Chains A and B, each alone.
Chain A
Amino acid sequence: SDILDEEPRSIYEPGFFQTETGIYGGVTSMYAHLRYIYGEAYYYNTCLTGTDEVTYAQSADQNFRVMDISGQGEITSTSSRADVLWGTAFSNINTASGVIENAAEVGISDDVVAEARFFRAFDYFMLVQTFGGVPLDLGTGELAFNTNPVRMSGRNTVPEVYTRAVFPDLLTAVNDLPDAGRVTGGATKTLARLYLAKAYLTYGWWLQNPNNIPTYPETGRTDPDGHDAQWYFQQAYDVAIEAINNPGPFGLEENFYDVNWAPNDRNKEILLYADHTETSEFYNGGSLTYGSGSAPDNFAGWMMTWNYTTITSSSSGTSWEPVNSVQREAEQHLGRPWTRMCPTIGAITNTFADKTSDSRYDGTFTTVYHGNWDKAGISGSLYNANFMEVNPGDAILTFLNEESSEAIDYPGSEGNSNIGAGVLPGRSDFVIAPGGISRIVYPGLWKLGPYRTDNGNGLGEPNAGSTRPFNIAKFSELYFIAAEAAVKGASGTRSARDLINVIRARAGMWRWDNNGNEEKIEDHSADMIAATPSAIDINYILAERSREYYGEGYRWYDLVRTQKWEELAGTYEIGGSNYGDHTPQTVTRNIEPYHYLRPIPQSQLDAMEGNTETYQNPGYE
């Protein structure tokens, strides 16, 4: 009878995927799914903490400490935060399979379907790098749209995931995707080529397995398609070079600074990003006033922001009357402090050894904290180090580029600056030398800092998640991929050194002194190229990658791909967790071969039926 029939009027049923609007909605959700991975701070942490770039900072909780593998707790199926990727990717893979299956019937063109293929390959590529082999059959057959509530799962091997899912989808995507995106930030041929080249490169390393790192599920290091590692390195090289030679609307920015400068977001160098906006709270997916600290908000940038707001200057020139001179502000150098992650001293002193010719140190970190108390309604001048007068906009705290020749007068604890910063004679700013950075006071990560156009004359909304897109893939990486493939034996028109020098030459181009906050039009390209070693090895590629992509979430994957994690990140240096700690301590990490795969999350094991004992990666049982 009528009253027992149902017709929903406020929700969609899964059958909606068989309509044109449904298909486009499915494709949109694939872009939106990026927000649940990129900009999610805990996943971001798994990409960096424990590498040579980053360690945990003073306010770090277990989410960060365990990832450091330095005796602060074990990485386990519940403590690992790579669960973020696992929990997001499969649902998106299923949506992509649904779009791919239904599109033809609805009459959706191949270039739109190719977006779905790209994202399915993208997720599988991320999964296989992070966890090893993962299931291709979600419940109704390999790569099929699943509407079957199964509670079993079987893992495919790494070669199966690459050769049956990642490569075929990306090859089709390269073929079918347009040169310019269908929408702003949409998938393109160049983007698909970047991922195809990177997947080939990564799989080539995996086949080669130079340091005997185990995989899971266990399988021989042979390719089902009969190719060897060398073949894949060559493919990686060729695809990357092809992408460089046919860039479409993409290319390198003139200056490194502009790549990450917020007003220039979504520039021609960025191939893929998880977008956000300050123009709509609803479509931004996170509050424009107070971020919750959970996806889909973009809150990764809070992690490497230390609590600069406790810095004090004095309202009196004779006795120290503390005033917070650097206030929390929605500005790219500042933002919301969470003090969860910090750079290692090695990253500052070794990776970024050149801070004068190479613009990338200045274009990566906040090293000078400028006074902004006027924006908080505090008027007039203040007095800072040496009781010298400072005005809004002046440097209050500077992380020195080099060790000081004069002895810095550090207080034993907080001191006048309230953060334990030192004083040099004749300087009105407090200072900290590179060797004096600690888990509590360290250069901030400028790249991911917030940017808003609605601050007016005030401090804006520093507690909101970042409304900037979170960058995922850049055109510049094609040079690195080709160069790395060349180092691994691929041959072609451009040598590894030539390719790396494109990046280094650009890094020598200055137009703005970011931390000095003034124009600086200088060309140090020649110096940069001159400093490039004649023979490029993998360690040099890795160091150069770190200079280019520091703090963007590439590092763990780079070290795992090249199997250099233990070698490059086995020890690090950092100062302690208290104000006034300026003595570097050397910390040793216990990186085991099994750590090269992350544990399968407990939520997966809990929800599975039957025997789950062989599902977990070895070492994590």
Chain B
Amino acid sequence: QTINISGTVSDDQGSLPGVSVVVKGTATGAATDFDGNYTLDDVPANATLRFTYVGYQPLEIEVNSQTVINATLVTDTKQLEEVVVVGYGTQRKEAVTGSVVSVSGDEMREVASPNISQALQGRMPGVDISQTSSQPGTTMQIRIRGTRSLTASNDPLVVLNGIPFTGSIGDINPEDIKSIDILKDASATAIYGSRGANGVILVTTKRGYKGQEAKISYNGYFGTRSIFARYPMMNGPDFIALRQAAGQFTNGADESENVDTDWQDLMYRTGIVTSHDVSVTGGSEKGSYNFGLGYYRDEGVIPTQQYNRISLRAAIDQEIGRHFRIGLNSNTNYNITEGSQVGLYGILSMSPLADPYNEDGTWKRTVNMPLDEAWVYSRNILGRLDDRWLNETRSFATYNAIYGEVRIPGVEGLKYRVNLGLDYRQSNEGAYTGRGINSANPETLSTASVSNSHTYHWIVENLLTYDRTFAEKHNVNITALYSAEQTKYTRSRMAARDIPSDQFRFYNLGHANGEITIDPDDQIYELSGLMSWMGRVMYSYDNRYMLSATVRSDGSSRLAKGHKWHTYPAVSAGWNIGNESFMDKISLVNTLKLRVGYGQTSNQAISPYATLGRLGTRPYNFGNDNYATGYYVSELPNSGLGWEYSETWNYGLDFSLWNNRLSGSLEYYVTDTKDILLGVNLPPTTGVGSYTANIGETRNKGLELSLNGLIVDTEDWTWEAGLNIYGNRNELVALSSGQERDEGNWWFVGHPINVIYDYEYTGLWQEDDPYLDILEPGGNVGMIKVKYTGDYNEDGTPARAIGPEDRQIMDLQPDFQGGFNTRVAYKGFDLSLVGAFKSGGVLISTLHSSSGYLNMLSGRRNNVKVDYWTPENTDARYPKPGGVASGDNPKYGSTLGYFDASYLKIRTMTLGYNFDGKSWMEKAGISRLRLYTSIQNPFVMFSPYHRKTGLDPETNSYADENAAVTGTYPSRLLTIGTNAPATRNYMVGINLTF
């Protein structure tokens, strides 16, 4: 028996057009009309109707012979989150065909962080976020699916509320974030064309929504920062033994064997981290608003190091009449970073035998070690220096996006939108070092410097979109774009010597009695522009078959005339297998989607003017009073410099199983990057150092898996867990024609871009080892033994001494890495945990290598506590103190700095309680109240480096920073050096909404 059914579908706001009404188990269905009405003919009387609509929970109603069935749908907050921002628009997650990962603001804030780069670490597969500095307020390096470019930038594009972001990621307050979506493959990033090659991070800040009741929220936390571990330096007795074993130095004037000073103890303090954020959000019939004010303060464990930020956010959306909509989104912040003048090398290298105090208990100004007279500083001394030693950077930035949107009357689904982005950022750095500060000589002149930089950025985007569903099943979305933008960056810097009074700090260099310098190499002007045309079509049929195609054409000012424009296509397709009728019988599978994409993107991220060549400057004095600046050709022009571009194939599988209890995705990709923009070192005989060219090719391929499970879900208990795991394999496929290796830059064809090129440590030379005299002329027993790759004579003796040809290429990249999170809730309580892990790869510790000058094993300055060779202790890892040296370090000392980079880290653990539905809350007008406490960086496990040193195995420096010698490694590599020590933070926080 069949009947005819009609009805109206609505939600709590009124009728809903476009709702899909399907007779369950069949292809029969209809969609509601503009007023929410539908009719269905010839429906079995015992059938079930299924109502589905994006953003609402699906609803099923048994017909039971009723002929009028009205349905009320309930919004699904979970479903709402399933809308992802894909650039110049949003898309239902179900329809996405590219590789996109998303994280909501709330998830991200599970790790309380000064900026989003820290919050996102380990949260998404394929997104490798590494620490480059451990000082307060610093941001991290983000690499999406590996590095592909050699000289040009590998940083992803950040888009804030639709506008390409020109500032520092630290300028965005994590409390303001609504969601973050990361586009990883070329089919997704192609719409950003020339800037999408390194991936795109779309940051969306909070807005209000229409009809929302006004709410005020406060989120805040307070915590302490204390060191995770002190650097493992020798104490007095250790150091006496080392100095004796080395036999090179005797005690300096301020040293005594019955002194044992822990200089680090005298240095570190407990820092404070605190954040306060207030926001107001609300909506009216035609508009909505959101305002926020935030304050963040982060004090480091090294005195004077701190970061403060005040941020202000405003978002307004307003409809005008039936066709117009306008809006504004503004993010402004002011921040101060202080204390970078205080380094740790002086503390770590200070002899533990040196007494910091005079006999009367006052601090010594300097201490004399055997060869060095070192200036004494400590927590106490820094506290008193006040005006006399400081470095601060004050930044002000404002990022504004204004849009106007009009529905074109007469053509349903057609909209025109103009986005105007206006950004401005300035950064003022001032540094002052008073007379005799940080110097053995009390008369060393004071120095001061001021540096000012400004970034101006504007962009205009004209967008035409057409979004419509035909015949209920054909969903078409067409976007066309024309945009133009320009960025101007200027910097000026001046420095002066001999400031007559400390009170001036760096505020009036004009008073300097000494030289005032404006170094021409420190003054920068860069103006660059980009113009783009883009078209995109997204089509889906019946939620089963999806296709997306994009073409974009970009013109960049940075490239040579005639090579400025490049056009790239991208196409991707998806098949929602789970929505096929034949899958209905497989109840195990809820969704199953296959995606394939191909696309091209490109990179123009070289400095402006790189095509023009450059003269280097050489200041010179002819006698004591005639100064001149010389010029020589340092870079040659390249009139053929064009785009570097990447081609990516991406294959993805999304699934959810067991009633959505387990969901996840698996992706495989291959990215080939060609015509790489490379600063090519020329042989000295060319007479010029380098030039920039399109040379070389790299490849990245990788596998990514993410899983989310709802393991327990009862009335009182829930347990959720997520895991992501990924591996990227990077390979340098080609350098310039026929070239297989570039030893100067450590680039080798057939190996990853980031490698170590050095001798391979194989142990120490022992008493009975043969051929020491042949392999290491002038060497000694107990010195480092490295791999010999040469030939052997007929009698079995090595044919030559160990030399540069024995250096090895060593891979730095981990086998796999990833992150995990889990959350257990019982009634109002919840306990959550976020972690990250890495397996394999090489960690460079400049503390232990020769570039750090902290492992000289000579007894000249303090040494990292290591197990070194002595005639009685021959199975040590570290060589005999005072043995054959290269520079001030043991020969092959660089090989001592390589460690297994594996680790598993709990990044944060949080215990919270939600006060829900308490009557006193209602009386007080509180709609939400949550209290929590959390620990950051509580544990490190499975880390060989941590086991040996007690230190956090996360990198904290670029290779040209925080080491005594900075030329050893290419500066692109990350290392552990003498930066501020890693910390462990304890905090308590509150979330409150009225």
- Report if A28-B681 is in contact (Cβ < 8 Å); known contacts: A62-B887, A149-B686, A289-B439: no
Instruction: Annotate B603-615 by CB proximity to A: 1 below 8 A, 0 otherwise.
Output: 0000011011111
One of B3-11, B462-470, B623-631 contacting the partner: B623-631
A14 near B687 with CB under 8 A, answer no
Q: Are the CB atoms of A459 and B688 closer together than 8 Å?
A: no
> Which of A60, A91, A310, A463 contacts B688 (CB under 8 A)?
A91
Do B621 and A463 touch across chains, with their CB atoms under 8 A apart?
no
Shortest distance in angstroms between B612's beta carbon and chain A's nearest beta carbon? 5
A277 partner residues in chain B, CB cutoff 8 A: 621, 623-624
> Is A31 touching B620 in the complex (CB atoms < 8 A)?
yes
Give the contacting residue for A149; candidates B250, B529, B688, B743; CB below 8 A: B688
Cβ–Cβ < 8 Å partners of A59 in chain B:
888
Contacting pair A149 B253 (CB below 8 A): no
* B778 in contact (CB, < 8 A): yes
B680 contacts A463, CB within 8 Å?
A: no
Specify which of B485, B622, B628, B741 lies most central, judged by the most chain A CB atoms within 10 Å of its CB: B622
What string of 1s and 0s marks CB contacts (under 8 Å) between B221-260 and chain A?
0000000000000000000000000011010110000000
B685-A16 in contact (CB<8A): no
In this assembly, does B691 line the interface, its C-beta being within 8 Å of a C-beta of chain A?
A: yes
- State which residues 678-711 of B face A: CB under 8 Å: 680-689, 691, 693
Choice from B517, B613, B886 contacting A61 with Cβ under 8 Å: B886
Report chain B residues within 8 Å CB of A323: 253
B685 touches A33 (CB 8 A): no
Q: Are A461 and B778 in contact (CB under 8 A)?
A: no
Q: Is the CB of B887 within 8 A of A602?
A: no
- 0/1 interface trace, chain B 504-527, chain A, CB 8 Å (1 if under): 000000000001010110011111
Q: How far is the CB of B682 from chain A (nearest CB, A)?
A: 6
Residues of A within 8 A of B683 (CB): 151, 153, 603-604, 607-608
1/0 contact string of A15-33 vs chain B (CB within 8 Å): 0110000101111111111
Are A4 and B682 in contact, CB atoms less than 8 angstroms apart?
no
How close is A147's CB to chain B, nearest CB, in angstroms?
A: 6
B777 within 8 A of A: yes
- Residue contact B777 to A461, C-beta cutoff 8 Å: no
Any B CB within 8 A of the CB of A5: yes
A151, B686: Cβ atoms under 8 Å?
yes
Tell whether, in the assembled complex, residue A149 and residue B626 are in contact, meaning their CB atoms are under 8 Å apart.
Answer: no
Given contacts A72-B777, A90-B685, contact A11 B627 (CB under 8 A): no
A435 part of interface (Cβ distance < 8 Å): no
Q: A33-B618, A91-B633 are in contact. Are A604 and B685 (CB under 8 A)?
A: yes
In the complex, what residue of chain A is closest to B618 when comparing beta carbons? Answer: A32
Q: Tell me, yes or no, whether A280 is within 8 Å of chain B by CB.
A: yes
Q: What chain B residues lie within 8 Å of A135 (beta carbons)? A: 685
Q: A603-616, CB under 8 A of B: which get 1 and which 0?
A: 11011111000000
A45-68 interface mask toward B, CB cutoff 8 Å, 1 = contact, 0 = none? 000000000000011111101000
| Minimum CB–CB distance for A289 against chain B, Å | 5
Q: Is A318 an interface residue (CB 8 A)?
A: no
A contact residues around B557 at 8 Å (CB): 3-6
Q: How far is the CA of A30 from the CA of B622 in the complex (A)?
A: 12
With contacts A8-B525, A22-B631 taken as known, whether A147 is within 8 angstroms of B531 at the C-beta atoms is: no
Q: How large is the interface on B (under 10, 10 to 19, 20 to 34, 35 or more residues)?
A: 35 or more
- List residues of chain A with CB within 8 A of the CB of B742: 606-607
How far is the CB of B743 from the nearest CB of chain A, in Å? 4
Question: A285 — nearest CB in chain B belongs to which residue?
Answer: B619
| A71 close to chain B: CB less than 8 A | yes
Asked if B633 contacts A94 (CB within 8 A), the reply is yes
Contact of A248 with B by CB under 8 A: no
Q: Which residues of B contact A13 (CB under 8 A)?
A: 609, 612-615, 637
- CB–CB B778/A72 < 8 A: yes
- In chain B, residues 755-813, which have Cβ atoms closer than 8 Å to a Cβ of chain A? 777-778, 801, 803-804
Residues from chain A with Cβ under 8 Å of B877 in the complex: none
Contact A74/B614 with A279-B621, A328-B373, A456-B443 known, Cβ cut-off 8 Å: no
Output the least CB separation between B82 and chain A (Å): 39
B689 in contact with A91 (CB, 8 Å): yes
Whether a CB of chain A sits under 8 angstroms from the CB of B55 is: no
Closest CB of chain A to B44's CB: distance in Å?
A: 65
Across the interface, name the chain A residue whose C-beta is closest to B492.
A10
Q: Which residues of A contact B524 (CB under 8 A)?
A: 10
* A591 to B461 CA separation, bound complex (whole angstroms): 72
Asked if A150 contacts B686 (CB within 8 A), the reply is: yes
B370: nearest residue on chain A (CB-CB)?
Answer: A310
Over the window 227-258 of chain A, the binary record of Cβ atoms lying under 8 Å from chain B Cβ atoms (1 yes, 0 no) is 00000000000000000000000000000000
| Nearest residue, chain B, Cβ from A607 | B683
Nearest chain A CB to B724 CB, angstrom units: 40
A185 contacts the other chain (Cβ, under 8 Å)? yes
Q: Quote the shortest CB–CB distance from B157 to chain A (angstroms).
A: 19
A322 pairs with B253, CB closer than 8 A: yes
A597 to B613, CA, bound (A): 35
Closest beta carbon of chain A to B783's beta carbon, Å? 12
Q: Evaluate contact between B371 and A309: CB separation under 8 angstroms.
A: yes
CB of A296, distance to nearest CB on chain B (Å):
8
Q: What residues on A are CB-neighbors of B888 within 8 Å?
A: 59, 61
Asked whether, in the complex, the Cβ of B621 is within 8 Å of the Cβ of A14, the reply is: no
From known contacts A11-B615, A14-B613, A607-B681, infer whether A458 and B686 are also in contact, taking CB-CB under 8 Å: no
The residues of A that contact B515 with a CB separation of less than 8 Å are: 279-282
Which residues 368-384 of A sit at the B interface, judged by CB distance below 8 A? none
Residues from chain B with Cβ under 8 Å of A322 in the complex: 253
> B684 and A28: CB pair below 8 A?
no
Assembly CA distance A615 to B684 (angstroms): 14
Contact A30 B630 (CB under 8 A): yes
List residues 504-558 of chain B with CB under 8 A from any CB of chain A.
515, 517, 519-520, 523-531, 555-558
The stretch of B120-128, B644-652, B731-739 that contacts the partner chain: B731-739
Give chain A nearest CB distance to B788 CB in angstroms.
Answer: 14
Residue of A nearest to B439 (CB): A289
Query: Cβ of B630: which chain A residues have Cβ within 8 Å of it?
Result: 25-33
Given A14-B636, A282-B517, A310-B252, A9 and B614 contact (CB-CB distance below 8 Å)? no
**Which residues of A sit under 8 angstroms from B373, Cβ to Cβ?**
328
- Say yes or no: is B440 at the interface (Cβ < 8 Å to chain A): yes
A186 within 8 A of B: yes
Contact, CB under 8 Å: B739 / A609:
yes
B703 CB, nearest partner CB in chain A, Å: 35
Q: Which of A262-282 contact B (CB under 8 A)?
A: 266, 275-282
Q: Are A283 and B370 within 8 A (Cβ)?
A: no
- Interface contact B777-A73, CB-CB below 8 Å: yes
Q: By the criterion CB–CB under 8 Å, are A184 and B622 in contact?
A: yes
Q: Identify which of residues 306-357 in chain A touch chain B, using a CB-to-CB cut-off of 8 Å.
A: 307, 309-310, 312, 322-324, 328, 337
Asked if A280 contacts B620 (CB within 8 A), the reply is: no
Q: Using an 8 Å CB-CB cutoff, how does the interface string of B556-575 with A read, 1 for contact, 0 for none?
A: 11100000100000000000
Question: Which residue of B is nearest A86, CB measured?
Answer: B684
Question: When the two chains form their complex, are residues B556 and A90 in contact, meaning their CB atoms are under 8 A apart?
Answer: no
A279 touching B624 in the complex, CB below 8 Å, given contacts A6-B557, A71-B778? yes
Q: Is B891 an interface residue (CB 8 A)?
A: yes
Contact of A132 with B by CB under 8 A: no
Interface check B717, CB cutoff 8 A: no
Closest partner residue, chain A, to B735 (CB atom): A609
Residues of A within 8 A of B804 (CB): 76-79, 602
A77 to B743, CA, bound (A): 13
Q: Point out the residues of chain A lying under 8 angstroms from B526, CB to CB.
A: 10
CB-defined A-B contacts under 8 Å, sample of 23: A1-B531, A6-B557, A6-B558, A6-B608, A6-B612, A7-B527, A8-B608, A31-B620, A71-B778, A94-B633, A147-B633, A149-B638, A151-B686, A151-B736, A153-B683, A275-B621, A280-B621, A281-B497, A285-B619, A310-B252, A601-B684, A608-B683, A609-B738
Known pairs A3-B484, A458-B443. 11 more at Cβ < 8 A? A31-B620, A33-B630, A61-B886, A65-B778, A183-B626, A283-B628, A285-B619, A328-B373, A607-B684, A607-B744, A609-B736
